[in-house]
Structure 1
């Protein structure tokens, strides 16, 4: 009976660790194989942006990739004040509290 409990406990721990790893990966919303080499300098209007994601950590420049209502993807510098403000607005709108 003790061996059976150990197997069940090990399985539960494995499932929980897998779930945590998966959700942490989703939290950062990194876009695979998309890198930005230049940034949009002009602020985007909040009503034109539907979502954002982070570029891959393998990219030479870390960037925010905004998706517009027209489906266009726009690269932005994550340190710019307007970018931080737009991210905060989008996070509040979607109910998530992710941070960059």
Structure 2
């Protein structure tokens, strides 16, 4: 019985350490920009990438998938503007 308890405690500590791991947050960051720019009619949502990520990015949700794009790109800036107009008007 003591061995089972020790195993459960070790497993719990392992799970807690994994949940608190700062590297796990980086897995949700864009590593590279997509070359494919979605059509504004296919965009469902957009957001800016978390500032804790090393790369700045704008994420667009199109057809249920998030696409990472370069926020400095002229086309991406235009797309943000068009999508903002689409949702406000």
TM-score under structure 2 length normalisation: 0.64
Deviations 1:27-69 (A, max 9, x none): xxxxxx531110011322111111100110000001001001x
What displacement does 1:74 show? 0.3
1:71 and 2:71 aligned: no
**Other-structure match for 1:81:** 74
Displacement of 1:92 in angstroms is: 0.9
SS of 1:87's partner is helix
- Mapped pair 1:38 → 2:21: no
Aligned pair count reads: 63
Larger-gyration structure (1/2): 2
Q: CA RMSD in A?
A: 1.6
In the TM superposition, 1:9-48 aligns within 5 A as: 33=25, 34-48=28-42
* Structure with greater helix share of residues: 2
2:49 maps to which of 43, 49, 55: 55
The separation in 2 between residues aligned to 1:93 and 1:42, in whole angstroms, is: 20
TM-score (norm. length: structure 1): 0.58
Corresponding residue of 1:17: none
